[in-house]
Amino acid sequence: MCLRYNNFSLLLFIINFHNYIGVITIKSTPMKEIPIGELIARCKSILEEGHYSRQRICRYEALWKKGILKYMSDQGLTLYSPEIGKACLTSYLCGHPNDHKEQELVRSVNVLDDCLLLGRIRMRSYTPVVHKLDGLIGEYMQPLIDYLRSIRRSEITIRDYQLYLGGFSRFLNEAGVHTPEEISQSLIVSFLNGIDEAKTSIVSAIRVLFRFWFENNVTKEDKSEYMASFKYMRKERIPSFYEKGEVMAIEKSVDQTSGVGKRDYAMLLLATRLGLRASDIAWLKVDDIDWRNNVIRLVQYKTGQPIELPLLADVGNAIIRYLKGGRPQTTSRQVFLASRAPYSVLGRQGVGSAINRLISNAGINLKNRRHGPHSMRHSLATAMLKNGTTMPVISESLGHMSTKTTMTYLKIDINSLMGCALPVPPVDESFYNQKGGAFHG
Q: Which residues are catalytic?
A: 277, 302, 374, 377, 400, 409
Nearest by Cα to 337 from 10, 11, 51 = 51
Q: In one letter, which amino acid is 141?
A: M
Which residues, in sequence order, are CB contacts of 35 under 8 Å at separation 6+?
78, 79, 80
Question: What size, in residues, is the chain?
Answer: 441
Q: Which one-letter amino acid corresponds to residue 206?
A: I
CA dihedral 409→414→420→426, nearest 10 degrees, is 150
Q: Which residues touch 138 (CB under 8 Å, ≥6 apart)?
A: 132, 166, 169, 173
CA angle 6, 11, 14 (to 5 degrees): 150
How many Å apart are CA 118 and CA 25, to the nearest integer? 12
C-alpha 272/C-alpha 283 separation (Å) is: 17
Q: d(Cα 223, Cα 210) in Å, to the nearest integer?
A: 5
- How far is the CA of 19 from the CAs of 12, 46, 142, 376, in angstroms? 11, 22, 46, 34
Handedness of CA 408, 409, 415, 416 (dihedral sign): negative
Distance CA 265, CA 280 (A): 16
Phi, psi at residue 289, to the nearest 5°?
-100, 115
Residue 334, strand partner residues:
285
Tell me if residue 55 falls in helix, strand or coil. helix
Phi/psi at 294 (nearest 5 deg)?
A: 60, 50
Residue 149 per-residue DSSP state:
H
- Cα 173 to Cα 140: distance, rounded to the nearest angstrom: 12
Q: CB–CB of 307/297 below 8 Å?
A: yes
